[in-house]
Amino acid sequence: MVIPNEIPVKNTMADQVRRMLDELCGLSNLDFSGGQSTSGFSGRPSFRDLNAFVFQPQNVIANPDILFYKADTQEHREKLRTIFPYVLNAVTPETLAKEHELRRLERELVRKERELKAAQEVSAEWLARIRSTLAEARELGLVTESLPPDMTREAMVELLSQIIRSTDQTIQVSSATISDSLKELTGLENEEGSLSQELTGLRRRLGEMRRLRESANSYHEALTIQRDRLKVSDWLVELHTGTEECPICGNHLNQSNEELQKLHTALQDVEEATGVSREFPAAFEREFQRVQEAVQITAEKLRAVEIRRKALSGRSREAEQRQFEAKRVERFIGRLESDLKTYERLGTDSRLVTEVEELRQQVMLLRTEIDEANIKARVRRALSVINNNAGRLLPNLDVEYPDNPIQLDINNLTVKVTRDRRDDFLWEIGSGSNWLSYHLAIMLGLQQFFLAQAHSVVPSLLVIDQPSQVYFPKLLVQRGGEGQPEPRFDRDEDVAAVHKAFAVLSQVVAAAKGKLQALVLDHAPKTVWGDIPDIHLVEEWRDGRALVPVEWLQ
């Protein structure tokens, strides 16, 4: 592929590039508010939010007040606090999907409970008027016996139902009225059939997506079992030197060595497959949520059409039987029949009561599955690993209290050091060498934690700008013009401190075995770090040469 010198027309958009980078990082398309907000502190995670774990610019690397990139602004601080559990794998994409489903069900439950409450209030008012209704029925001659004062509600309802069943009324209906009703009824039946087909297709698609997710989980579990069975090959490879001999005949064990290597290679393949077997594209979760909402909306539409159709059919049958506009008795019967339907709809077996109870059970189940206590426990375990990683690096850095316990505080986005039975925040500990050491230890400890995860959204990259400024600030400020000689570092203890920082970076990168890259931009000459392994000098930008070539600007 040839890279052109100039692109005359625009071939993409900034939003498309951002979405592509989000997809490459494996970030979820779901926000942290359960679907109630799409931006702000609770918006969906972005690859730009992950820069806090990748970049340590010159104004941050030894700053006592700021531990992470751009954490000096309120917006980035709040967003970083929000995404930290997600970055630490305490909140997974599956958890976010369940939170979205929980918020949707909670909104649905509130709506249904509001409908049930309104209907129950109507029912209570109706029951308060039931005796006067029966008295009116007696005046009309529909009830002949006297009403006992202790008559139960069920007995009164049964008596009113008998009145409706025993009343023989007729209605005069024109052919035009019947024709219009039949046309409307036919249209509703066609609409009902169309919605039924659409709902069937959506439910089939939703079931297929659920089965796909279950299949992926089963495949992942199978791979985990294979990995556990092959894990012993790691231990055997560590013990293997290539010179083992048979304890009986003294011959070399060449064939067994080859078999062991095959086992070890198989383990690596399984571990690689295990790391990605449960990864779903972010678009899958988005489509899953869309299909769920479509099923709910279509079901509601179908129910509304069914209610209209049944009401129209009922009205048509009633129209053929009686004419309510003729007499006072007829108006009373119609009003009484409507009240009885309201009462029946509010019975213990009614659809609305059942729906509310089912929604409550689903909400309770999802709340149990999400369980904020479990999320906080996973965060604490992750922070404990990170703190231990940083604590192992501190004795090799130029820090005043190398053996004191260190804690990453994700609420305040800083570091706490325990000494003399008290916790001191980073800004309460003096000396630029301490600030630099704690920054390096925490950033490297985080990267070690991310590398140990089966899948991490944070890039395995660390960019550090000017770590030696703590020890040689004046020399770096004075060197402003091009062509000036390399500054000399005369203080042995400062040179040794800078050497420690580079050595720790080299140690962590080497231990990552090619999975972590650290880029350091610094004025420290090769005499400071030249004897440290795994350090590669890319370029010395001086004498007119710069990171951005001059010809680009021209």
Q: Kindly report, residue by residue over 9-63, the tens digit of the pLDDT.
A: 888 888 888 888 878 877 776 666 665 655 566 677 788 888 889 999 999 999 9
Boundary residue ending a domain (291, 321, 351): 321
Residue 27 lies in a domain: yes
DSSP letter for 262, please.
H
548 and 399 assigned to the same domain = yes
pLDDT tens digits for range 132-162: 677 777 666 676 777 676 666 667 777 777 7
CA gap 142, 124 in Å, rounded: 24
Domain of 381? 14-91+373-553
Give the residue carrying structure tokens 């008998």.
162
What's the pLDDT band for 5 if we cut at 50, 70, 90?
Answer: confident
Q: How many helices (H) and strands (E) does the chain have?
A: 17, 6
Boundary residue ending a domain (370, 401, 430): 370
pLDDT of residue 440: 94
Q: Is 496 helix (H, G, I), strand (E, B) or coil?
A: helix
Question: How do beta strands 422-425 and 414-419 pair?
Answer: antiparallel
CA gap 70, 56 in Å, rounded: 10
How many beta carbons lie within 10 A of that of residue 163, not counting itself?
20
pLDDT tens digits for range 182-237: 677 777 778 878 888 888 888 888 888 888 877 777 777 777 777 676 666 666 66
**What average pLDDT score do residues 510-535 get?**
87
pLDDT tens digits for range 260-273: 677 767 767 666 66
CA gap 385, 356 in Å, rounded: 44
CA gap 529, 503 in Å, rounded: 8
Least confident stretch, 55-69, 112-126, 292-306, 489-503: 112-126
168, pLDDT greater than 60: no
180 and 279 assigned to the same domain = yes
400 and 380 assigned to the same domain = yes
Residue 126 lies in a domain: yes
Q: Could you give the residue ranges of the DSSP H alpha helices within 327-428? A: 328-345, 351-370, 372-393
Query: What's the CA angle centered on 291, arms 288 and 294, to 5 degrees?
Result: 150
CA gap 300, 111 in Å, rounded: 13
354 and 269 assigned to the same domain = no
Residue 537 lies in a domain: yes
333 and 213 assigned to the same domain = no
CA gap 253, 248 in Å, rounded: 12
Most confident residue range from 25-34, 166-175, 217-226, 525-534: 525-534
Give the residue carrying structure tokens 């009885």.
340
**What average pLDDT score do residues 371-378 get?**
84
Two structure tokens written together for 270 = 């399984």
406 and 500 assigned to the same domain = yes
Q: Are 435 and 64 in contact (CB under 8 A)?
A: yes
Nearest to 44 by CA among 278, 273, 207, 282: 282
185 and 273 assigned to the same domain = yes
Residue 9 lies in a domain: no
CA gap 476, 472 in Å, rounded: 6
CA gap 205, 294 in Å, rounded: 11
Two structure tokens written together for 309 = 């159709």
520, pLDDT greater than 80: yes
Two structure tokens written together for 443 = 């950033």
Boundary residue ending a domain (321, 344, 360): 321
CA gap 388, 510 in Å, rounded: 19
Residue 5 lies in a domain: no
> How many domains does the chain fold into?
3
pLDDT of residue 330: 60
pLDDT tens digits for range 426-469: 898 888 889 999 999 999 999 999 999 888 888 999 999 999 88
CA atoms within a 13 Å half-sphere pointing along the CA-CB vector of 5: 3
CA gap 157, 342 in Å, rounded: 12
Q: What percent of the chain has a predicted confidence (pLDDT) above 90?
A: 15
pLDDT tens digits for range 325-357: 335 566 666 667 766 666 665 554 467 778 888
410 and 534 assigned to the same domain = yes
Q: At what angle do helices 153-166 and 328-345 cross, to 10 degrees?
A: 130
Residue 522 lies in a domain: yes
Two structure tokens written together for 495 = 């040179």
pLDDT of residue 435: 92
Q: Is 519 helix (H, G, I), strand (E, B) or coil?
A: strand
Q: What percent of the chain has a predicted confidence (pLDDT) above 70?
A: 69
327 and 394 assigned to the same domain = no
Two structure tokens written together for 262 = 């095959």
Query: What's the CA angle centered on 28, arms 25 and 31, to 5 degrees?
Result: 135
CA atoms within a 13 Å half-sphere pointing along the CA-CB vector of 137: 27
Distances (CA, A) of 487 to 104, 234, 429, 529, 530: 63, 48, 30, 15, 16
pLDDT of residue 113: 82
19 and 151 assigned to the same domain = no
Q: Are 34 and 103 in contact (CB under 8 A)?
A: yes
Q: Are 60 and 66 in contact (CB under 8 A)?
A: yes
CA gap 187, 185 in Å, rounded: 5
How many beta carbons lie within 10 A of that of residue 479, not counting itself?
15
359 and 507 assigned to the same domain = no
Two structure tokens written together for 223 = 């791979």
pLDDT of residue 482: 46
317 and 331 assigned to the same domain = no
Reported pTM: 0.59
Residue 4 lies in a domain: no
172, pLDDT greater than 90: no
CA gap 301, 279 in Å, rounded: 35
Two structure tokens written together for 319 = 């129209």
Residue-wise DSSP of 444-477: HHHHHHHHHSSS-SS-SEEEEE-GGGGT-HHHHH
**What average pLDDT score do residues 478-489 get?**
49
pLDDT of residue 360: 85
Two structure tokens written together for 32 = 């942290």
Residue 122 lies in a domain: yes
Q: Is 424 helix (H, G, I), strand (E, B) or coil?
A: strand
Q: Are 127 and 151 in contact (CB under 8 A)?
A: no
Nearest to 67 by CA among 445, 366, 483: 445
CA gap 408, 383 in Å, rounded: 7
